[in-house]
Each structure stands twice: as C-alpha cells, then as structure tokens.
Amino acid sequence: MKPAPLRLRRACTAAAAAGVLLAPAIAGSAYGASPATLSAPASTTPSPTTTPSPAADTEFVRLTPAVAARLDAAVLRVMREARVPGVTVGLWAPGKGSYVKSFGVADKATGAPMTTPLHVRIGSETKTFTVTALLQLVDQGKVGLDDPIGRYVTGVPNGDRITLRQLAGMRSGLFNYSMDDGFIKTFEADPHQTFAPRQLLDYSFKHPVQFQPGAEFDYSNTNLILLGLVVEKVTGRPLHEVVTRDVVERAGLRNTVFPTSPDLPAPYAQGYTDQTASGRTEDSTRWNPSWAWAAGEMVSDLQDLRSWARTLATGTLLTPATQAERLKTAPMNIPGTGYGLGIFDVQGWIGHNGSIPGYEVLPVYLPEAQATMVILLNTDTQYEGQEPSTLFGEAVTSIVSPDHVYPGHKPLAPAK
C-alpha cells in the first residue's frame, strides 16, 4: 500500500496494522468546538492553502460530542482487536473543533495510563526531518537534487547514476539493509548495541541492486542513511546537530530530539514489540535506535508532531520551488497514493508514518480542510499483516473524512 514503517524483518511498502491490548482506560480526554507503476506520469500535490477551501465542510466533519463518542468507540474497537497497550489520537481542524484523547496504558508493568504529554520514538517520521535538512541545502545551492550520490559517498553501487532525488523518493534500487539476515541476527542478539552508518551500508551493499535507478518504487532505509551522510559531508556537522538546529529549532519544536543514546526525554511511554529473537513480546523502550539513524532514530510527542505535520505539508522551512519538488509524487501500489521526496500523499493526507520496535506514529495533514491527524502508540506488533497505526488511521478517517479514508478503503457507512 503506502510507504512503510522502519522495521527489521517486516519491511513493506505500506503502512498497514497490528498491536497488544489491555483493559482500555481512557485518559487525557478533550474535545471542543474551537475556532506502483512508475510508468504513470508523476503528479504534483497541490500546495496546502492558507484558508480552508469552500468544500471544507464536506472534507472534514465537525468534531461534536456525538462524533467524539463515535471516535471513542472506533479507537477502543481497534485496541481490542489489535491488542494495543496504549494509543493517543489527536484531531484538529479550523472551525471544526478538536479531539484529543489517550487510551490504555503507557506501562504494562505498573498500569500507568497513556497520556498526551508522553514522548515516543517516531521511527520513519525521522525521514521527513532528514530530507528537510537535505532540501534546505538545495535551497542554499550547496547540493542539487540530481547530483549523483557518488559525488558525496564512495563505494555506492550505481553511485555514479543514483541521484539524491531518487534516494529521497525511494527509487534508488539499493537493497534495504534492515532486511539483511545478518543484520537482523546481529541486532536481535543484542538490541542495545551501537551501529555506525557505514556498518549499515555494508549490510546493504553486499546485495545486488534490486533494479536500475528510477525504474521502480521500493522503500529502503539504505537511502536515508546515504542522505544523512550527504548532509554531514556538506555541512561539516553531525546529522543530529544539523537536524536539531536547522530543522527542529527553526520549526519551533520544543519536545523533539535526535538522540545520540538510547535515552528518551521524560515523560515517555514504554514500548512493546514482538521483533525479538524468540518472537515473544518484549519491552523495547531502552533498545539502542542507532541502527535506524537518519532513517528512524528520533523522538517526539503529540503536540510537536501536530505542529510538524503542518510545517512539513506546507513547506514553511523551504522555498516554494523546493517544496513543489518535494510534493511531486509518483504512484505507489494502490490507487490514491503517491510518494514524493521523503513524504507521501495517501488519499489527500500528506505526511509520513513511522514505526520502530515498540512504537508507531502517524502525523498527517489534509490541506483541503487544514485538518491535522496525529496517532501515536506504544507497540509496533502487527495484526493480520497490518500496522496498528494504519488500523487506527482508517478507523478515525472513516468517521471524520469519509472522502479521504486512510489508507484507501471506503467506509462501511457514511459519517453522520
């Protein structure tokens, strides 16, 4: 379906669903009425408007108490089915109100409730920050999107032909290092160990290229490791420093960090995963995320992800021309979806999902209604082959934006 979370074994080109459920306690509730075939031609996603369109009344429903009750029921149903410990859902739209609630537990051992201020690991949402840092360098004239990666990083298969644009658009043909059996065994033997970017590339480069540059869409974490190295080479600074100073701080985010250790800022939710050597669910909160680096190492919270979803979709950190390049999408493998430069458009929702052992996030923005949806949860365990964040996204959007259902299924009944 659509671009994938950053996983170990189950790398997919879609964000689908799954989880682990305890008795669903509800906390932090609030609502109000406050103000792929790449042979197809690439499309340009319209830039988000500064005011909601006249059709906004039909694009996104008013978040009344009755709608909030329907959302409660839908979220709790997904929690039960997918056995998710804790989830937070946030919805905001001008003139339509807001819905912000946390359900379940943040810590299965203590029973501490899931609450809205908690930090979580954001997995592949990190890609949006790394690509933004790269595109800022494009704006500064320091790199070109059609530069070959071999100009900046040596030893890359097809490095004289793969461009930065193809890396950011997941069209390089390079093997995804996190699908390498040797990497998976090494990681599972000790998920607390530290990986260096060049180590990760070694796992990828021992495999033949999957296809010629630009020929297909294939979601690969290897692409982002290379782009992170480009940012470091051009700026002369560590990637975490560039992202923090040039992206996070400029975007006004106060609770988003690019860590250099397994530490999370307090308060945080515990994370649970079945991506373990035994296959049993374990607490992965303190696992070292260095293996994800530029592709998935960052940490954030609900309100920062709300702000970032809009910043990312509207391109306020970039020139209009560069943002337009970012939003040019080519089809993925279901109708109504496309991937641009470190960003997707799924049924009109613009953004990116994220998954890393123990956590998933889904921050997206619907330009027609200026609506933002953020979903974050403390498991990545799949349910019937789908990512749990996608199950929640589908359940929520079936109610609030029936003409824009994420990830693309039609609602069973029209929203009331």
- What is residue 244's DSSP assignment? I
Mean per-residue pLDDT for 261-271?
97
Which pLDDT value is given to residue 407?
87
- In the block, residue with structure tokens 């929640």: 392
Please write the tens of the pLDDT for every residue from 154-166: 999 999 999 999 9
Tokens of 263: 């530490």
What DSSP string describes 163-221?
A: BHHHHHTT-S----GGG-HHHHHHHHH-TTS---HHHHHHHHHTSPPSSSTTSS----H
Q: What is the band of 333 on the pLDDT scale with cuts at 50, 70, 90?
A: confident
Mean per-residue pLDDT for 281-306?
98
Please write the tens of the pLDDT for every residue from 99-142: 999 999 999 999 999 999 999 999 999 999 999 999 999 999 99
Provide long-range contacts, Cβ within 8 A and 24+ apart, for 71-77.
Answer: 71/99, 71/101, 71/396, 71/399, 71/400, 72/26, 72/101, 74/395, 74/396, 74/398, 74/399, 75/101, 75/103, 75/392, 75/395, 75/396, 76/24, 76/103, 77/395
User: Counting Cβ atoms within 10 Å, is residue 324 exposed (0-12), middle (13-18) or buried (19+)?
Assistant: middle
How many angstroms separate the CA atoms of 208 and 265, rounded?
Answer: 40
Other CB atoms within a 10 A radius of the CB of residue 35 amount to 7
Higher-scoring residue by pLDDT: 407, 268: 268
What DSSP string describes 303-346?
A: HHHHHHHHHHHHTTTS-HHHHHHHTEEEE-SSTTEEE-SS-EEE
Which region holds residue 212: left if phi is over 0, alpha if psi is between -120 and 50, else beta? beta
- What is residue 240's DSSP assignment? H
Residue 24 backbone dihedrals phi, psi, to 5 degrees? -80, 90
Higher-scoring residue by pLDDT: 404, 10: 404
Q: What is the band of 55 on the pLDDT scale with cuts at 50, 70, 90?
A: low
Of 55-59, 179-183, 291-295, least confident by mean pLDDT is 55-59
Average pLDDT, the chain: 88
pLDDT tops 80 at residue 20: no
Which pLDDT value is given to residue 51?
56
How many angstroms separate the CA atoms of 200 and 193, rounded?
Answer: 13
Of 30-39, 117-126, 154-163, 294-303, least confident by mean pLDDT is 30-39
How many angstroms separate the CA atoms of 185 and 202, rounded?
Answer: 15
Q: What is the band of 335 on the pLDDT scale with cuts at 50, 70, 90?
A: confident
Residue 367 backbone dihedrals phi, psi, to 5 degrees? -60, -40
